């Protein structure tokens, strides 16, 4: 099994620190507003990654932080005359409801930043004692110049970075030094050795992961936009504090989500929350849309791509429905053919998933399997045992991908008699060589999830 590591820019054999135990951390949301579909893309991707690792026999502990103290939360609370803690709890609850609706239910523990202030302060004290951090009149900062490998994940040179940085705080030693602790006198604040204040953004993640995983663990995930400066800061903090490297064995990042070719933003009017999405679309359709693109690649959201995802999912559901209907009446003797077909596509599916969780390629194999099955059923039948083996593979696929394949396809509303009439009409059109009209009818039937093989 291979995983693409952002640090090495290569696919590497997956070898966790402990043979069958995997520690997975993914950056969670800052809970000042509803989560959007870009968040959903990332969290669905890592839900699949956890599901597949567990299918492979690993025990996975999936940890996610909740940033429930941040300037954005405080500003939004002031705007709405709400207590920051109440605002954060409200949107944390809504975020978890959104994840549940999307079938993202693999996170083992959500760790709030405000529940780990003691651990944050302890880690900052360690960094000061080791000479990697210093106190100023405005807070405590990490000294980037003391960490020689700063920028190794994003492959940015510290000297080049500092050329483009503006030092807005003259008390800092370097323009890029980032806050570990912000001295504040306006609530909410916590007591610390440096006076009342609040933790910086980057330090909460390393304090939380050190508490539950120790200074080193297997996989750290998040969106591409977090590589710099957030993940660079995490590496610097943890490796400086622990004297151990690497902090993480495998860095995994999801690609950007655009809307109809443009970056999603409120100013463009194309900002879509998960709740907005689920008012119009079944969550499984969005999940299918996400998995139709490799997790590392950019993905373009549009009404057209969602409609295509709906048709594709319906086609698989319809095939499984047909297979289940055959149970109890399948007494064929073409097992060699069907067993060979099943073994071939099982192998292809799992090879794709083993190759850096290549879900679009894995889905393509499922579609080819569906096509081959529907074609074979015209003149071949498997035995009951082989039929159940095929159904078992489809159910296995659904469990890995997080799909409910038991849902009935809409084509069940079309009676057999009506289908016979449609076939008869197409046959007469073909006899008259009116190919275009015949093909148009076939295309429309395919859009409804009805396969027509000539």
Residues in the chain: 454
pLDDT average, residue stretch 119-136: 98
What is the C-alpha to C-alpha distance for residues 23 and 33, in angstroms, rounded to an integer? Answer: 28
Q: Are 114 and 152 in a shared domain?
A: yes
Residues 6 or more apart whose Cβ sits within 8 Å of residue 183: 137, 138, 139, 194, 195, 196, 197
**Is 204 strand, coil or helix?**
helix
What is the model's pLDDT at position 306?
A: 95
What is the model's pLDDT at position 438?
A: 77
Q: Are 339 and 431 in a shared domain?
A: no
Of all residues in the chain, the percent with pLDDT exceeding 70 is 92
Q: Say if residue 35's pLDDT is above 80.
A: yes
Token match 């640090």: residue? 7
Q: Are 187 and 330 in a shared domain?
A: no
- Tell me the C-alpha to C-alpha distance, in Å, between residue 193 and each of 7, 114, 122, 181, 255: 35, 17, 10, 10, 40
Beta bridge partners of 222: 253
**Alpha helices in 189-334, H assignment, sequence order:** 201-213, 232-242, 274-280, 283-291, 303-326
DSSP assignment of 298-314: -EEE-HHHHHHHHHHHH
What is the model's pLDDT at position 163?
A: 47
Count the neighbouring beta carbons within 10 Å of the beta carbon of residue 89: 15
Q: Are 229 and 349 in a shared domain?
A: no
Q: What's the number of domains the chain is made of?
A: 3
Q: Say if residue 395's pLDDT is above 50.
A: yes
Q: Are 84 and 122 in a shared domain?
A: yes
- Tell me the C-alpha to C-alpha distance, in Å, between residue 327 and each of 120, 319, 389, 390: 58, 13, 11, 11
pLDDT band at 430 (very low <50, low <70, confident <90, very high): confident
Q: Say if residue 412's pLDDT is above 60.
A: no
pLDDT average, residue stretch 286-291: 97
**pLDDT tens string 45-92:** 999 999 999 999 999 999 999 999 999 999 999 999 999 999 999 999
**Domain residue limits at 426:** 414-447
Q: Are 42 and 190 in a shared domain?
A: yes
Q: Considering the chain, what is the average pLDDT of its residues?
A: 91
| CATH code of residue 375 | 1.20.120.640
Instruction: Assess contact for 375 and 23: CB atoms under 8 A.
Output: no
What is the C-alpha to C-alpha distance for residues 272 and 320, in angstroms, rounded to an integer? Answer: 33
Instruction: Assess contact for 241 and 119: CB atoms under 8 A.
Output: no
φ/ψ of residue 313, rounded to 5: -65, -40
Q: Are 308 and 400 in a shared domain?
A: yes
Residues 6 or more apart whose Cβ sits within 8 Å of residue 377: 322
What is the model's pLDDT at position 339?
A: 95
Q: Are 166 and 34 in a shared domain?
A: yes
**Is 70 strand, coil or helix?**
coil
pLDDT band at 433 (very low <50, low <70, confident <90, very high): confident
Nearest Cα neighbor of 290 from 61, 39, 108 is 39
pLDDT average, residue stretch 167-191: 90
Q: Is 266 annotated as a binding residue?
A: yes
Longest dimension (CA), the chain: 89
Query: What DSSP state is assigned to residue 227?
Result: I
Answer whether the bond into residue 229 is a cis peptide, omega within 30°.
yes
Least confident of 9-18, 117-126, 264-273, 411-420: 411-420
What is the model's pLDDT at position 227?
A: 97
What is the model's pLDDT at position 167?
A: 58
Q: Are 191 and 317 in a shared domain?
A: no
At 79, list the tokens: 């705007």
**pLDDT tens string 224-252:** 999 999 999 999 999 999 999 999 999 99
Q: Say if residue 452's pLDDT is above 90.
A: no
At 290, list the tokens: 């996400």
pLDDT average, residue stretch 397-422: 69
Token match 């679009």: residue? 360
| CATH code of residue 176 | 3.40.50.620
**9 part of a folded domain:** yes
Predicted structure pTM score: 0.88
What is the model's pLDDT at position 330?
A: 74
- Tell me the C-alpha to C-alpha distance, in Å, between residue 4 and each of 12, 25, 249, 257, 299: 6, 16, 11, 19, 18
pLDDT average, residue stretch 164-179: 79
Instruction: Assess contact for 6 and 252: CB atoms under 8 A.
Output: yes
Q: Are 166 and 59 in a shared domain?
A: yes
Q: Are 185 and 229 in a shared domain?
A: yes
pLDDT average, residue stretch 277-294: 96
């Amino acid at each position: 099994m291979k995983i693409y590591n952002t640090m090495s820019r290569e696919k590497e054999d997956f070898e966790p620190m402990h043979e069958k135990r995997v520690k997975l951390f993914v950056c969670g949301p800052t809970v000042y507003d509803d989560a959007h579909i870009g968040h959903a893309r990332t969290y669905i991707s890592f839900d699949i990654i956890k599901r597949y690792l567990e299918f492979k026999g690993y025990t996975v502990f999936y940890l996610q932080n909740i940033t429930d103290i941040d300037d954005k939360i405080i500003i939004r609370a002031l705007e709405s005359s709400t207590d920051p803690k109440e605002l954060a709890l409200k949107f944390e609850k809504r975020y978890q409801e959104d994840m549940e609706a999307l079938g993202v239910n693999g996170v083992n523990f959500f760790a709030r930043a405000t529940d780990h202030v003691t651990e944050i302060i302890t880690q900052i004290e360690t960094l000061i004692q080791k000479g990697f951090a210093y106190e100023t009149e405005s807070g405590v900062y990490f000294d980037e110049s003391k960490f020689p490998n700063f920028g190794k994940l994003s492959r940015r040179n510290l000297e080049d970075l500092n050329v483009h940085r503006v030092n807005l705080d003259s008390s800092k030693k370097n323009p890029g030094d980032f806050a570990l602790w912000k001295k504040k006198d306006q609530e909410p604040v916590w007591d610390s050795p440096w006076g009342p204040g609040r933790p910086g953004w980057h330090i909460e993640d390393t304090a939380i992961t050190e508490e539950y995983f120790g200074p080193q663990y297997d996989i750290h995930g998040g969106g591409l936009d977090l590589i710099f400066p957030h993940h660079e800061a995490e590496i610097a903090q943890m490796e400086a504090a622990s004297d151990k490297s690497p902090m993480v064995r495998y860095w995994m990042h999801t690609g950007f989500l655009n809307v109809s070719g443009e970056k999603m933003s409120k100013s463009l009017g194309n900002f879509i929350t998960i709740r907005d999405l689920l008012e119009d679309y079944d969550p499984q359709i969005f999940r299918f849309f996400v998995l139709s693109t490799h997790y590392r690649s950019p993905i373009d959201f549009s009404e057209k791509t969602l409609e295509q995802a709906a048709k594709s999912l319906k086609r698989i559901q319809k095939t499984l429905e047909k297979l289940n209907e055959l149970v109890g009446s399948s007494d064929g003797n073409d097992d060699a053919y069907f067993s060979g077909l099943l073994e071939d596509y099982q192998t292809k599916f799992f090879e794709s998933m083993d190759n850096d969780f290549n879900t679009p390629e894995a889905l393509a194999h499922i579609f080819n399997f569906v096509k081959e099955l529907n074609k074979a059923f015209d003149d071949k039948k498997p035995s009951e045992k082989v039929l159940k083996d095929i159904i078992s593979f489809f159910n296995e696929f659904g469990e890995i991908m997080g799909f409910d394949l038991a849902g009935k396809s809409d084509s069940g509303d079309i009676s057999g008699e009506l289908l016979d009439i449609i076939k008869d009409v197409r046959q007469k059109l073909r006899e008259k060589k009116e190919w275009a009209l015949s093909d148009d009818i076939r295309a429309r039937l395919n859009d409804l999830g009805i396969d027509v093989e000539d």
